[in-house]
Amino acid sequence: MEVIDQREPKLAASPAASAYLVGSVVETAFDVVYVSFERRVHEAARAFSCMVVPEPGDEVGLFRTPDGRLFMTAVLSRASGAPLTLHAPEGFTLKSDKDIRLEAQQAVHLQAATFAGQFDSAHWAARLMRVTGVEFVLRSAAARLFAEAAEAVLSRLQVSADRSYRHIAQAEHVRTGILDVKAEHVANIRAGTMLLSSRELTKVDGAQIHVG
């Protein structure tokens, strides 16, 4: 395969006119594209505005500058079923004065070292949502959870709060191997009827014990 490097200036050649050409991609390497036209394979650079990554077999548009440089400016057609890939080596910013909408018939995949977002309001609606990670940290001035049923399966649960209030409309059931409740000052349990029973031993200990 003979490769003609269009980027090398020819010292004795007279200035050539610029021209638009069409070729077929033979091979790609980073931002260099090897294109076949005029029965030869030429080396072309991908134009800065052409973000589409070409695939072998693509029909591409080319522009030859007066000094002999060759740029691939567009991918005109693709015979294979390869997906469209956009590549921006120095980063990519998408701006719009109105809405930006992303739609896919199957799936949307995001992959990055860091995912960051800043919104005035965010809304997520999903039939099923799964979040998997090593650590989950949530910081908020206020948090509210509304659900018909909530279930938590934990190896260890620790809660630290200045005040805790719970209102159970019907019944609360606690099943535990050991129940340890400690109050620094006063422990007050009130009920219309209270039943206290134990299988082996019931012990009440205090400096003073008042019954009735």
pLDDT, one tens digit per residue, over 149-179 is: 999 999 999 999 999 999 999 999 999 999 9
Give a yes or no: residue 103 inside a domain. no
The domain of 20 spans: 3-77
- The DSSP secondary-structure symbol of 38 reads T
Share of the chain above pLDDT 70, in %: 92
| Tokens linked to 63 | 């522009």
Give a yes or no: residue 104 inside a domain. no
What are the contacts of 195-202 at 24+ separation with CB within 8 A? none
Confidence of residue 11 (pLDDT cuts 50, 70, 90): very low
Nearest to 18 by CA among 83, 92, 73: 73
pLDDT of 60: 96
- The DSSP secondary-structure symbol of 86 reads B
pLDDT of 1: 53
CATH number for 68: 2.40.50.140
- On whether the CB atoms of residues 62 and 21 are closer than 8 A, the answer is yes
Nearest to 35 by CA among 80, 67, 72: 72
Q: Which residue has the higher pLDDT, 145 or 6?
A: 145
pTM: 0.65
User: What single-letter amino acid sits at 141?
Assistant: A
pLDDT of 46: 93
Give a yes or no: residue 181 inside a domain. no
Give a yes or no: residue 206 inside a domain. no
Statement: residue 6 has pLDDT above 70: no
pLDDT, one tens digit per residue, over 192-209 is: 999 989 989 999 888 898
List 77's β-bridge partners, or say none: 59
Confidence of residue 212 (pLDDT cuts 50, 70, 90): confident
Give a yes or no: residue 28 inside a domain. yes
User: What single-letter amino acid sits at 200?
Assistant: E
How far apart CA 24 and CA 76 sit, in angstroms, is: 10
Domain count, the chain: 1
Tokens 């938590």, located at residue? 152
Give a yes or no: residue 120 inside a domain. no
Average pLDDT, the chain: 89
pLDDT of 211: 83
Give a yes or no: residue 99 inside a domain. no
Nearest to 38 by CA among 54, 55, 51, 19: 19
User: What single-letter amino acid sits at 199?
Assistant: R
pLDDT of 81: 87
pLDDT of 13: 46
Give a yes or no: residue 67 inside a domain. yes
